Chains A and B, each alone.
Chain A
Amino acid sequence: MKARRLTLSQRRQLAGVVFALPALALVIGLIGVPIGQAVYYSFTQWDGITTTWIGPSTWSQAFHNSDLWTALKNNAALLIWVPVALGLPLAIAVLLHQRVAGWKIFRSIYFLPTAISWVVLGLVAERFFAYQGTLNSIIHAIGLSGVTTNMLGNESTALSALGITFVFTMIGTNTMLFLTGLATLDPSLEEAARIDGAGRWRIFRHITLPHLSRFIQLAFVMTVIALFSALFSLIFVMTGGGPGYATTTMEFLIYQTGFSQGQFGTAALYGLILFAITGVVGIVQLRLIGSDL
């Protein structure tokens, strides 16, 4: 009896390994192994075919490259849009949570852009910022007929245009997160506070916001990760990284270095730097969803 139970447990374990194996092979082969390769290639001069070992000097050289610093600086500058990409959705979620007539339809509309490719949203944003685009129509309509903007064509404003587009693309997802958070809030808490004479702002500040803190943290992490690793489509169709290097972020620099300039080794190295940045943010995320692990 005892021996049989043991084999049952062993059989279960064996089945577990066999069931997990195909997924593990896929993830190790296409995600794990390339990380190792990237580390190796980051120490080499590599054009995709021939590899020449250089050693750690590739890293010190990379950090002397102004392109890398420009890209990192652009990424850092884009971070100022993160609070907007959280604040607006938070406000929208609170509005939706009031459940005015037709709020479900509004919810569907607000989330609709979430389904659309950032390639498409980037193309639309280009129309918005264009010389004869919506932005200038609005500016002229409010009476500033002498002012004509060309945000994407201007080195000093292109990154802001990208940031605004990024905020728009994140609204749906973040609103969704916050609305889910609000739905888990016990209405009787707010009710009790109201009976105690607390005003709307106080209720929001002291009950709603603390309750949402986990959701805000998660949204923050997801937004920052998206900022570092999901702008490729927007940049590709809106600016191509330009004008100059004005909108070249880390992920776009990797693409350009590798695929336009053929410097595979340097691009692999840049990839690792990007990985280190998102890795730190990712660890925070793992801790946030940690209760499920």
Chain B
Amino acid sequence: MKTRRSVSPGRIALFVTMLAIAVAMLYPFWVMITDSLHTQSQFISGSGFSLGSWRQLSAALPVGRQVLNSTLICTVSIFVILAVGLPAGFAFAKLRFRASSLVFLGVVSAMMVPLQAIVMPEFVNITRIGLTSGYFGAVLVYAALGTPFSIFLFTTYFRGVPDELVEAGIVDGLGYVGALWRLVVPIAVPAIATVTVLQFIQIWDDLLVGLLFIQNTADRPITVGLAALASGRTTSIPQLMAGSFVSALPAMLVYLGFQRYLVKGLTMGIDR
């Protein structure tokens, strides 16, 4: 197969190129970390280091509260997406009803609707039913936006499950709910993980929904808090970078821990 890692000049050049790309891709982290390690005056003068901006961060940006908000919003949204997406995927794959493939096509098409296209009526609707105070308006919107893709993913996944398995379960008296819960969900763990990781990163990183559908500043997720802090005129850049780092950390850790699920989700539907 491949030549045994002989250290040829070409190989070394390749390695150096890859190192250079790595430096470019790590640049954002370098900026966030180094810029945050100054006070505002040190930053302007360009010399000296201090942890001052980190110490005063929570005064400018209620990091703890906002990270908690983000976590809650992500958790509940993902829970809703799984709760409605799993049975729907099971139905489209195994419990085909009249016109189910047409309905499935419709649901998958909803994947293509950008939120901006419908944001005006959406905003008015959610405001009218009074859900812009608190998280639930945003949770509903995130759930609706994430559901079509998760249904697509689950349906594709469940099609790989033999019909006999489900039928046997039904005959054995599990019932449809039992078959879903006891037979299908346990083998769907990789698909569930993919949806969870993908949605977590998407929702954690989102700005628009949180910005519009959460009216109370206290309920803001960290990404929205950060964007709001950035739009303030007097914002200290070291503090902003410290806040950026904090907001990026959870999504980074999830990514590093579950990388392969993310890759699977992003390349879904084409990798075979």
Q: Are B21 and A274 in contact (CB under 8 A)?
A: no
Question: A204-227: which have CB < 8 Å to B?
Answer: 214-215, 218, 225
Contact with B along A193-210 (1 / 0, CB 8 A): 000000000000000000
- Cβ contact within 8 Å between B255 and A115: yes
Residues of A within 8 A of B51 (CB): none
Q: Considering the chains assembled together, what is the distance between the CA atoms of A116 and B108 in angstroms?
A: 26
Are A16 and B95 within 8 A (Cβ)?
yes
B175 to chain A: closest residue by CB: A15
Residues of A near B117 (CB, < 8 A) are 35, 38, 229, 271-272, 274-275, 278
Q: How far is the CB of A119 from chain B (nearest CB, A)?
A: 5
Are A26 and B143 in touch, CB under 8 angstroms?
Answer: yes
Say whether, besides A35-B113, A35-B118, A106-B21, A20 and B32 are in contact (CB < 8 Å). Answer: no
Asked if A22 meets B270 with Cβ closer than 8 Å, knowing A30-B141, A95-B14, A115-B251, the reply is no
Q: Tell whether, in the assembled complex, residue B85 and residue A23 are in contact, meaning their CB atoms are under 8 Å apart.
A: yes
B255 smallest CB distance to A (angstroms):
3
A161 within 8 A of B: no
Count how many chain A residues have C-beta atoms less than 8 Å from C-beta atoms of the other chain: 99
With contact pairs A12-B95, A120-B244, A258-B119 given, residues A232 and B208 touching in the complex (Cβ less than 8 Å): yes
Judge whether A251 and B22 touch: CB under 8 Å: no
B161 close to chain A: CB less than 8 A:
no
Contact of A106 among B18, B140, B148, B266 (CB under 8 A): B18
Contact of A23 with B88 at beta-carbon distance under 8 Å, contacts A16-B95, A117-B251, A293-B105 already known: yes
Does B83 make an interface contact (CB < 8 A)?
yes
- Mask: chain B, 225-269; 1 = CB below 8 Å from A; 0 = not: 011001100000100110010011001101110010011001101
Residue in A closest to B88 when the chains form the complex, CB atoms? A23
Q: Can you list 11 A-B contacts with CB-CB less than 8 angstroms, sorted by A residue number? A: A22-B83, A26-B143, A27-B110, A110-B22, A112-B29, A113-B25, A116-B248, A123-B244, A240-B231, A274-B117, A289-B269
Interface-facing stretch out of A60-68, A96-104, A141-149, A151-159: A96-104
Indicate with 1 or 0, residue by residue over A1-43, a CB within 8 angstroms of chain B CB atoms: 0000000000011111101101110110111111101100100
CB-based contact B15/A101 at 8 Å: yes
Taking A114-B255, A251-B114 as contacts, is the C-beta distance between A15 and B25 under 8 angstroms? no
How many A-B pairs have beta carbons closer than 8 Å: the answer is 299
Chain B residues near A278 (CB-CB < 8 A):
112-114, 117
The 6 closest A-B pairs by CB, nearest first: A282-B112, A16-B95, A115-B255, A30-B144, A117-B205, A229-B114
Q: Which of B59-67, B121-129, B185-193 contacts A (4 or more CB under 8 A)?
A: B121-129
**Minimum C-beta distance from A76 to chain B (A):** 17
Q: Mark A251-271, 1 if CB is under 8 A from B, else 0.
A: 100110011000010011001
Within 8 Å CB of B135, what residues of A? none
In the complex the two chains form, what is the Cα distance from A31 to B180 in whole Å?
A: 27
Query: Is A289's CB under 8 angstroms from B248's CB?
Result: no
| CB interface residues, B 88-123, toward A, < 8 Å | 88, 90-92, 94-98, 100-101, 103-105, 107-123
Whether A55 is near chain B, meaning CB under 8 Å from some CB there, is: no
Residues of chain B with a CB closer than 8 A to A48's CB: 123-124, 127
Q: How far is the CA of A284 from the CA of B35 in the complex (A)?
A: 43
B271 adjacent to chain A (CB < 8 Å) = yes
Q: How far is the CA of A118 from the CA of B103 in the complex (A)?
A: 33
Question: Roughly how many angstroms separate A218 CA and B270 CA in the complex, as a whole number?
Answer: 8
Residues of A within 8 A of B271 (CB): 180-181, 184
Extra inter-chain contacts (9) besides given A20-B103, A32-B110, A259-B212, CB under 8 Å: A17-B97, A23-B87, A23-B147, A48-B124, A120-B248, A124-B31, A236-B227, A255-B119, A264-B120
A124 near B267 with CB under 8 A, answer no
Contacts of A282 in B (CB 8 A): 109, 111-112
Supposing A123-B244, A274-B116 touch, asked if A13 and B270 sit within 8 A by C-beta, the answer is no
Known: A37-B121, A282-B112. A13 touches B98 (CB 8 A): yes
Once the chains bind, are A286 and B112 in contact (CB under 8 Å)? yes
Contact (Cβ within 8 A) A13 B95: yes
Is B116 within 8 A of A255, CB to CB? yes
Contact B116 A30 (CB under 8 A): no
Residue A177 lies at the interface, judged by CB distance under 8 Å to chain B: yes
Is the CB of A173 closer than 8 A to any CB of chain B? yes
How close is A265's CB to chain B, nearest CB, in angstroms?
8
- Residues B91 and A16 in contact, CB atoms below 8 Å apart: yes
Q: Does B183 contact A (CB under 8 A)?
A: no
Nearest residue (CB) in A for B111 is A282
Q: How far is the CB of B263 from chain A (nearest CB, A)?
A: 5
CA distance A114 to B256 in the complex (A): 11
Within 8 A of A (CB), among B161-177: 170, 176
Residues of chain B lying within 8 A (CB to CB) of residue A236: 207, 211, 227, 231
* A182, B19: Cα distance in complex, Å: 21
Task: Flag whether A128 is at the interface (Cβ < 8 A).
Answer: yes
Which residues of A are found within 8 Å of B176, using beta-carbon distances?
A: 12, 15, 19
